[in-house]
Amino acid sequence: MASGRGATLGDCLVRIMRRLGRSVAAEYYVNDAGGRVELLGESVKARYLQSKGQDARVPEKGYQGEYLVDLAAAAPPECADWDAQAWGRHAMNALLASHKDDMRVFDAHFDRWYLESELFASGAVPKTLEYLKSRGMVFEKDGAVWLGTAGADGSTDDKDRVLVKRDGKPTYFLPDIAYHKDKYDRGFDRVIDIFGADHHGYVPRMKAAIAALGKEPDSYHAIVHQLIHLFRGNEAVKMSKRAGTFISLRELIDEAGKDACRFFFALRTPDSHLNFDLELAKKQSSENPVFYVQYVHARICSIFRKAAETGLWTADEGLPLPNARCLTAPEERALLLKLAWFPEVLLDAERFLSPHPLANYLMELAGLFHPFYEKCPVATAEDREVAKTRLLLIAGVRDAIREGLGLLGVSAPEQM
C-alpha cells in the first residue's frame, strides 16, 4: 500500500505539472543490484528446497513472505543448479513484472523503469566517484572512501558518508549519487524523489550529495510520505511486511477499486499518516469522498440529458454566452468563485508537491453544488434564459470535476 501512496503522489504531480505546461519525466528506480538481490535469491532458494522436502531456512535478515513460495514454484526445471544470484535474478524479474502490471491497473505511468544494474553496467558508478574526486569532495580513511560533506559550506549533512567500503564494494549511497548525476547530465534542472516513511534521514544526505556534484541543493526535493493504517470500520487490519503478512496494493484495488484508492491517497498531505477505511471506500453514499465527487459529475450529466429531452439544449446548439445578470443567487455566485480558483489550486499542488489541494478542492466544489441544485432549478427553470445560463454554470462545474479527477487518475462516470 505504501507503493500505492507513493505512486499516487508521483503520478498525480506529473499529470498536474504537465497540465501547467512543465516538461516532466517520471521514472521508477529499481534496486536490482548489490547484496539485496543475493539475499532475495537465498530466501527464494530456501523456499524451493523446502518444497522438495529438504531442510532449508530463510536467512535471518532475508525475505520471509509466503509470496516467495509462488516465486520458487514458478522457476524452470534448471533452477535446481542455480546459485543465489540466479535465484535472485529470477525473483527480481518476476516481482518487477508483477509490479509493472500493478501500476498498469493502478493507472500510474512511468516514462522509464531505471534499473540500478543498468547504472553499474554503464560504468556510471566509478565515473561518478572519479568526478567527485576531481572536485575534491572525496577522501580516504580507515581503508574506505568517504564523501566529505560534514562542515562543508552549505552542507545539510551532519557527518561524512562512506562511498566505498574497505572491501572495495560501493555502499548504496554511491550508485544513488550516480543516478542523480545521470538525471542532471540528461538535462533535468529539478529532481524530485518520493521516499517511504523510513527515509527521513536520507534527505539531508542526498542534498549534500547534490551540492557535492556542484548542483544547487534547492534543485533537489524529497517527498517523504508517511505510513498507511488500514481499517475495516473501527477494526484495524494488522500488517507486517517482514513477516510476509502485508496487504498488497492489488488486493486493495480488487476490494475497494482503483478510484477510491487513488482519491483517498491524494486527500492527505504526504507527511501525514493516513487511515484507510476499506468499508468507507466501498460505500455508495455521500460519506465516501470519491463517490461524493463522482456523483456530482454524474448528476450534472443527467441534467444535460434532461435538458436535451426537453429541447432546452442540444449538442449541436452549444452553450450560450454567459449572462451574469441571470446569476444572482448566493449559491450561483459561490460556484462561480470556486470555479475561478481552479488554476490556482493546480499551482498550489505544484508548490506543495502534493495533490491534496486538488482533491480537497473537488470535495469543496461538490459540496457547493448540492445547495445550488436544491435552490436553483436548471432544466425546469421558468425563465429560459436563466435556465440556459445555469446550464453554462454547471457545465463549468462538470468540466472542472472531470479534469480534476483525471489529474488524480480517477474516472468521472456520467451515470451512477
Domain boundaries, the chain: 32-104, 113-222, 289-407
The number of C-alpha atoms within 13 Å of 342 and in the hemisphere containing its C-beta is 20
Residue 370 per-residue DSSP state: H
What pLDDT shows up at residue 100? Answer: 95
What pLDDT shows up at residue 385? Answer: 83
pLDDT tens string, the chain, 416 residues long: the values are 788 999 999 999 999 999 999 999 999 999 898 788 889 999 999 999 999 999 999 998 888 877 888 899 999 999 989 999 999 999 999 999 999 999 999 999 999 999 999 999 999 999 999 999 999 999 999 999 999 876 555 555 567 889 999 999 999 999 999 999 999 999 999 999 999 888 888 888 899 999 999 999 999 999 999 888 888 888 888 765 544 556 788 889 999 999 999 999 999 999 998 899 999 999 999 999 999 999 999 999 999 999 888 877 777 666 666 677 788 899 999 999 999 999 999 999 999 999 999 999 999 999 999 999 999 988 777 788 888 888 999 999 999 999 999 999 999 999 98
Packing angle of the helix pair 356-375, 258-267 (nearest 10 deg): 110
Tell me if 113-222 shares its fold with 289-407.
no
Q: How far is CA 29 from CA 75, 116, 279, 315, 339, in A?
A: 25, 7, 33, 46, 38
Gap between the Cα atoms of 210 and 180, Å rounded: 8
Residue 80 per-residue DSSP state: G
CATH number attached to the domain at 113-222:
3.40.50
Taken in order 341, 273, 290, 23, is the CA torsion positive or negative?
positive
The DSSP line for 199-241 is GTTHHHHHHHHHHHTTS-GGGEEEEE---EEEEETTEEPP--T
| Burial environment of residue 206 by CB neighbours within 10 A (0 to 12, 13 to 18, 19 or more) | buried
pTM assigned to the model = 0.90
Helix (H) or strand (E) holding 15: helix 2-19
Taken in order 17, 21, 22, 26, is the CA torsion positive or negative?
positive
What pLDDT shows up at residue 53? Answer: 92
Gap between the Cα atoms of 138 and 25, Å rounded: 31
What pLDDT shows up at residue 243? Answer: 45
Helix (H) or strand (E) holding 338: helix 330-340
The answer to whether 8 and 265 are in contact (CB under 8 A) is yes
Amino acid at 48: Y
Gap between the Cα atoms of 165 and 416, Å rounded: 60
Cell of 256: 475497494
- State the fold for domain 289-407: Isoleucyl-tRNA Synthetase; Domain 1 (1.10.730)
Gap between the Cα atoms of 116 and 123, Å rounded: 11
Taken in order 404, 408, 414, 416, is the CA torsion positive or negative?
negative
* CB-based contacts of 170, cutoff 8 Å, min separation 6: 125, 129, 163, 164
Gap between the Cα atoms of 156 and 203, Å rounded: 9
